[in-house]
A and B are shown apart, each in its own frame.
Chain A
Amino acid sequence: MDFTYDDEQTALRDAVRGLVGKAYADYEQRRRATREDPGFDEKLWTQMAEMGLLGLPFSEDDGGVGAGPVEIGIVCRELGRVLAPEPYLSSVVLAGGLVSAVGTPEQRQELLGALSGGESVLAFAHDEPGHRWGAEAHDVTADGSGALTGTKDGVLHGARADVLVVSAVLPEGGTGLFLVAGDALASVERSGYPTYDGGRAARITFDATPATPLGASAADVTASIATVQDITRIMAANEALGAMQTQLGATTEYLKSRKQFGVTLNTFQALTFRAADMYTSLELTHSMVDWATMVVAAGGPAQVADAAARAGLQVSRAGRHVGQEAIQLHGGIAMTAEYNVGTFTAHLTALDHLLGDAGHHLRTLDATLGDHGVIDPLDRTATQ
């Protein structure tokens, strides 16, 4: 039981902070990067690749670094602290995670090698209009030859992506994964748009689009999708934690410097007590996120799914609390796009709706409520 980073992990954190934290230390840099497509800094993305960050989750055989979940969590947390718009979560953790989990050795080496090297951006085309969260595809179908038909929406960085990982209902039922790249990708109708937090997403329509199965042949990989989504939930929780830490810091600094009625705002207990409650939410979340990250390292799919739902529920509640209060305690300034705090709240809202909000996680946890008396957080190994 140890909640501290070892020396190498601390060095990694400092390195990420030195690169990404420095690049976006001035919030105006983030605004500039998100103003034009692709909505992030391609040069910084290359530098992240050179530092080895893009290959962290993948094995050395696949061109990666073979690091663990704690290291990936460190990167996500640091990106969250400065609201870095680079597609780390969507491209590396989620889409790359799927390739790593389901792909053949050849597919992994080709796709993950290029992703790790910063030469290729991946996107996971999964969500569909009219459906909420889950591991399954609904209305996008694959025919017997693997050709895809139907519409995906909310595909993060879907317009910029060099390779799409697409989920589709298989002819015999179940959800398979397919790769769309090259000429096939050029034939797809991709309508990109900015998201409210400065990110990028796309609506993508397939019409008998030729696709290659991810893996040796098309097969139902719903369980693999679910596990990669769970790991992504936990990494998104790390990103959200970083964002909340920045928000609380900005809020306390503001309360100490902003004057009204001739005194600084921290003179008013109505405000300082609310900041104290933000701190409480944040620290409880910090513990839960650290724990869930460690469960990814120690547990099997069932333990990871449970930890993802628990961290997801906590982060959803805390993210709304901290995000909303950060704006209120600042006042009007936080409503402006020029000041960073409001956009942090927007990003927390986006993360909350990426892979399931509090209600979604409540339903997941309700299904296993009768399986235990008390929860033992230390007993989370795969052999359990």
Chain B
Amino acid sequence: MKFGVVVFPGSNCDHDCHYVLSEVLGQDVEYIWHQEDSLKGVDCIILPGGFSYGDYLRAGAIARFSPVMAKVKEFANSGGLVLGICNGFQILLESGLLPGAMLRNRNLQFICQYVNVVVERDDTPFTMLAEKGQVLRIPIAHMEGNYVPPEGGVGGLENRGCVLLRYSSPEGDVSPEWNPNGSAGNIAGICNERGNVAAMMPHPERCAESIMKTQDGRLIFQSVIAYLEERKTKAS
């Protein structure tokens, strides 16, 4: 399968994503510079973490107007898979491809630590190898991860099936004490109703091989690969 990792000025997890997909998981991966207006025929687009445009104005607010984002929007609207990680999440919110917005963390601090997230949906291309209720240990590293839902609140998102991951205890309890940043409803990851656009604050690319503390992030990328392979088999 062919993946595209978008590179904005200030992206800093682009190489990690490229490395995991190419070296660890053996996929074809292309970097896509933000000024490009072609997605090079990829099957899945990754918007990586970092500080695109220095997080000026609001995190993701300026990246959203990069030439490449017009193509990412078209790709998403035609059913293409798009995964935003951390800053990529913020860009997808700003671009309107996913609902809601991000505020600064409740404690006003940059938080860099391992967290537990519980999988709320196991029927999306990004989580199909996981099970609903499964707890993944994946690190977060962000300043703005305090998610604010759109009108209708967390309940509205739940009804539309948009809640993908929640901060939880190691056992999957999602009470407020397990919320690191003040995010509404402990939300750590969401998807659109169609399920082809998803985003998460935790960094799966930072825990995807045995040398790391956990390998849970691998599951996200492997799900995408499994989904794309299945889709290809069906099509042929």
A and B are interacting partners: no
Which residues in B have some Cβ–Cβ distance to A below 8 Å?
A: none
